[in-house]
Structure formats: C-alpha cells, structure tokens
Amino acid sequence: MNVGVVGNPRYQDLRGLLARVAAAAPHHGFKLSSEPKLANLWPKPVPALDGRRLDLLLTFGGDGTLLRGARLTAPHEVPILGVNIGRVGFLATASPDDLEEALAAVARGDYELESRRSLECVIEGAGKVKHPNTVALNDVVVHKSGVARVIHLRVSIDEEEVGQYSADGIIVATQTGSTAYSLSAGGPIVVPGVDALVITAICPHTLAVRPIVVPSRANVVIEVVPPWTDEVLVSYDGQVGTHLEADDRVRVRQAPTVVRLIRLAKEGFFARLRRKLQWGDLSDRQRT
C-alpha cells in the first residue's frame, strides 16, 4: 500500500509521531512517501511525494493540514486519514493516543469512507480563463486584502443576479466548509449528505443580507463592483489565493471529484459537533 504523509512541522510532537508511523509501516505493508519539508523529521530517509499514485494519505496537524492534503490529492480521490494534533481537528478521525490502532484498522480495511464534495474555482478576465480549476474542500472566499474596508460585490447564480453586496467579502462554502469560516460569519450548518452550497456575506453592511443555501449544481459568479477593485483577493480554504484585477469574474461550482475521509469510529456527525464544537453545550448552567 502506497502511503503518503503530510504534516505541520510547527507541532513539536510530529517527530515522535512520524517515528511511530515508520515503525508500524513494515508490519502493515506500507510504502511511505513524505512531503519534502518533513524530510529531517523522519528517523530514516523516506522518499519524497513526487506525484506517485497513493492508496492512502496520512495528515498530521489540524484541519488546515487535512485541507492542504485534500488539495494535493484532489484529482485522485485518495482516502485521507486525519490525525489531529491541532486544537479542534473537526475533520480528523484519529488522535496521537490511538495512532497505532488507527493504522492497523486502515491496514485491515476496517473503516468507512465519508465522501465530501469540493469546489472548483475559475477566474475569468479579459475574455480568457486566467486561473483554471483551483480546488477547495471548505470554501472559496472573495475578500479585501490589507486595510479592513468594505467592498461591493455582485453575486449571480446560474446567470441570474442575486444582488450587490456591501460587505467585507463573500464566502462560497461546501457542506464541509459550513462548519468553518462560513459558520463564524453567521452561516448555517449543512449536514453531510445534503447536496448544497452556502453563500455567506462577511460582515454585511445591512441587516437585509442573510446567508443563502443553493443547490450544489449552482454556478456561482462573483464580481467586484468598481471602484472597489483594488487589493481584492480570492482565497481557497483560507490557505492559498491570488489577487483579482478589475473586470475579473470568480466562477465557483461543484468539482467533479470528491474528497474521501476515513472514519474509524461510529461517532455520528452531531456527536462530533457536541464534542469538538461544544454544540448546544449548557453544562455550565445550573438548573433553578
């Protein structure tokens, strides 16, 4: 089994975790490869990820690391086992405490796959495609860079204009991303399995603007309304992005491929909400 590894080297525990992976790999028939920036953390040299086809991807970090791994393997739908060594790790299914058990379960095939839809984003400008098919699992966000200042954005769905937004930005989120930035901006939680996208304005300058839930097949276009076209960014999963120029159009739609997350426990989505996001937690209140 070809197993790729990505991780966040800022976590002090990562060196020890990689040593445990290296020790377990021969017992499970894992052929390891790793992103180059982890090279000096392995107890022995491990080949670099070089575009080879993977059967499994291990991610060590928080949700950001898992999202990065999902973008790296997006075209191939590689199963991803997230090991949370971050703060929340909502998407991860394993922890350092059960790492060996998790690796053994994956080797046995004792797991379930949860398919999550992702987004593809195309930036169009001057009659041509400038940045084709950038993939995001959580969200695509059009927002102001630099000084916090309102911008005006025009949003259309399936070529019908929704309206102009005066806001700090616009989030287009998947079901997965509905529990991330969109949730912080006041958007709804979309349960996995509900095929929908969420369009959420960031700090809108009117109470008349509320998040919109649209079918996953919707074709969403965002344009910056002049003269608010300076220093506007489009970012993917809050990690990578590019500047927009005047007259650019950001086209967001559902990607044809899915991201496959490994689930080891029988814990349901709402149980995970309660445990990791303290959803509906009233334990600090006393009955009267």
Compute the half-sphere exposure of residue 7: CA atoms within 13 Å on the CB side of its CA: 27
Q: Which of 206, 115, 102, 105 is nearest to 152 (CA)?
A: 206
DSSP E strands in 86-205: the ranges are 112-125, 128-136, 139-144, 151-157, 160-167, 169-173, 196-202
User: Which one of 13, 63, 97, 139 is the catalytic residue?
Assistant: 63
Cβ atoms of 159 and 174 closer than 8 Å: no
Radius of gyration of the chain from its Cα atoms, rounded to whole angstroms: 20
Q: d(Cα 232, Cα 18) in Å, to the nearest integer?
A: 39
63 is catalytic: yes
User: Would you please indicate which residues are annotated as catalytic (active-site) residues?
Assistant: 63
